[in-house]
Amino acid sequence: MREIRLRFPPSPTGYLHIGGARTALYNWLYAKKHGGKLILRIEDTDGDRSTKESIDGIIEGLEWLGIDFDEGPYFQTDFEADHVKAAQLLLDKGAAYKCFCTKEELDEKREAALATKGSLGYDRTCRHLTPEIVREKEAAGIPFVIRFKVPERTGMLGYDDEILGRIQSDYKEVDDFVIVRSNGKPLYLLCNVVDDIRDRISHIIRGQDHMTNTLKQVLLYEALEAPLPVFAHMPLTLDNKKAKISKRSHGEIVAVQFYRDNGFLPWALNNFLALLGWSAGNDQEFFTREELIAQFSLDRINKSSAIFNFKKDDPKFITDPKAIYINEHYLRTMEVEQLGELVRAELEAEGLWNDSYARDRKTWYLNTLDLIRDRFHTLKDFTSLGRAYFADDFVVDEKPLNKNVLKFEGLKEWLPELANRYEQLSDFTVEETERVARELAEELNIKPGVLINSMRTLATGQLAGPSMFDILVTIGQDKIVERLRNVHKYFA
């Protein structure tokens, strides 16, 4: 039995998007489940598009998600000599050849084939050049690429895919493909195989868009006398219009950093990504780290494409509603101490953190988070929708202001009177604040809801939330009295 070794090999030409993150997650889960190792390899051979910023962003995104690696990061460009050596080995053993056909010649042949409805593949003009002719062309300085010599066999070339089943093609349908450019730089097809052989990769889990490349790479493994890894090609992640998710087409909404910066919890996003094309075979939606590792298997990956149903212009759901739903679940159920640390970072970023929340007011701080988290979607909500609990400069939403305050002219006198009565309370409790509010409503011959709903609006700025009297006690007597007395400013 070979050691189980997998790899995640992103190209650093942009941020880590959710499709790449899902691939990394599936590799990570498989490695963890089977006691294997996961290698991070940065495939940075595209010098024109690869950037340090992208490399840093990919690594930061993986670290935030908690997808850790046993080896790496390795950089493909550091092993260029290995790629060149492999190409030369293939030439020396007659498994590859130098092709001197120019682009113009190839274009002409393609046009002629189109006109006659012939084969569009390379016609192997240079495959049978004699060594003497090859030397002459080289001596004349004619540029060349190196092509792999596809064996002239009858039958089918194929491999067994752990997700998609048997993938195969007639040998006659496979072109002699280029493995080294005319500038002497080996191409991805070869580099990828050479790196996987060197890194002793036993399992390759990657996107379905690599599926046809794999047929050619099977030939390279064979020619380089290396054992084939186990292949598993995941169906692609598509948007709600069935277009492939990409950095270029969808912008930051598909970037892992977008979720980090918009208050998502790392494990919640992992949970969402895991379900984007995989299921445990039951109705389970939420998984601990240990549960997901234990239940993950390649045979439960769907054969059809996953749909990332994002709604970019929806102010409530900035992304796929399922991602929001899963994030909400973890906000509501995680240990409040852990939530406290995450919210602290948000409060610090907004200048709302008070050191007493970590000392003498820690109980108040954690109880407050526990009280208000049920209606929140992301960590950002604690400093926006929940700002009134930590500061006085909160925004009062227009909808509840119109509905619960401005609609009742009498509140200009009623709420200051309620504030006076609250100020006199020596025991500012849930029971006492409710008793006083209901007694005043009875005296004024108005529905208690008029006072209660208007208090909610002025105390929190929101239309809905926890029990009103829990809110009063949590925010505190002095602040509530002040906010109720200031009702007149909203009628100005």
CB 391 within 8 A of CB 404: no
The pLDDT score that the predictor gives to residue 112 is 79
Can you point out the beta strands (E) in 236-285?
Answer: 237-239
Alpha helices for 128-244 (secondary structure H): 131-139, 188-198, 211-223
The pLDDT score that the predictor gives to residue 311 is 67
The pLDDT score that the predictor gives to residue 251 is 66
The pLDDT tens digits of the residues spanning 298-312 come to: 999 999 888 888 766
Domains (range + CATH), the chain:
5-69+235-329 (3.40.50.620), 78-191 (3.90.800.10), 334-387 (1.10.8), 395-492 (1.10.10.350)
Give the type of residue at 369: L
Choice between 473 and 105, residue whose per-residue pLDDT is larger: 473
The pLDDT tens digits of the residues spanning 420-433 come to: 999 999 999 999 99
Q: How many helices (H) and strands (E) does the chain have?
A: 20, 12
The pLDDT score that the predictor gives to residue 176 is 95
Alpha helices for 93-174 (secondary structure H): 103-116, 131-139
Q: Give the SS3 label for residue 5.
A: strand
How far apart CA 321 and CA 318 sit, in angstroms, is 8
Share of the chain above pLDDT 70, in %: 97
The pLDDT score that the predictor gives to residue 4 is 97
247 is catalytic: yes
Residue with tokens 């796929």: 320
Q: What is the mean pLDDT of residues 350-376?
A: 97
DSSP 385: T
CB atoms within 10 A of CB 197: 18
How far apart CA 33 and CA 52 sit, in angstroms, is 32
The pLDDT score that the predictor gives to residue 247 is 64
Instruction: State yes or no: pLDDT of 74 exceeds 70.
Output: yes
Q: Which of 104, 107, 147, 91 is nearest to 124 (CA)?
A: 147
The pLDDT tens digits of the residues spanning 153-186 come to: 999 999 999 999 999 999 999 999 999 999 999 9
The pLDDT score that the predictor gives to residue 309 is 80
Confidence tier at 334 by pLDDT (50, 70, 90)? very high
Q: Which of 185, 247, 403, 479 is catalytic?
A: 247
Mean of the per-residue pLDDT values for the chain? 93
The pLDDT tens digits of the residues spanning 229-261 come to: 999 999 988 877 787 776 666 667 789 999 999
How far apart CA 64 and CA 256 sit, in angstroms, is 9
CB 202 within 8 A of CB 3: yes
First to last CA, the chain: 79
What's the pTM value of the predicted model, to 2 decimals? 0.91
130: CB partners within 8 A, 6+ apart: none
